[in-house]
Amino acid sequence: MDGPWFDAALAAAGGTSAGVRRYLSLDASGTFALSSAACFADAVGRAAELGFTDVFTHWPRPSGWYAGDESVLETVVADFVAASR
């Protein structure tokens, strides 16, 4: 549940959206967010533009839906840590 109607429902209930965390699965679009570090950064940027406060993705697996290389995850973590300093 997100978007302007979510804020309207909060207001109708006497609340505000301040402090409400908005989570998004980056992998719900059909593209695995950790297919590359650039893909992950793009997905996080788009999520932020839409008002999401938190995102999550699946751990890379050797095969299947979330097939990917753990080195991409390591790069994303290193980039995140470097950016947060």
**pLDDT tens string 10-40:** 889 988 777 888 899 999 888 999 999 999 9
Q: Looking at the domain assignment, is residue 54 inside a domain? A: yes
Q: Looking at the domain assignment, is residue 52 inside a domain? A: yes
| 1 pLDDT tier (thresholds 50, 70, 90) | very low
Q: Looking at the domain assignment, is residue 68 inside a domain? A: yes
Strand partners, 24: 55
- How far apart CA 19 and CA 22 sit, in angstroms, is 9
Q: What is the pLDDT of residue 8?
A: 85
Domain count within the chain: 1
What's the mean per-residue pLDDT of the chain?
88
Q: Looking at the domain assignment, is residue 8 inside a domain? A: no
Q: Looking at the domain assignment, is residue 2 inside a domain? A: no
Strand partners, 55: 24
| Domain region containing 28 | 21-83
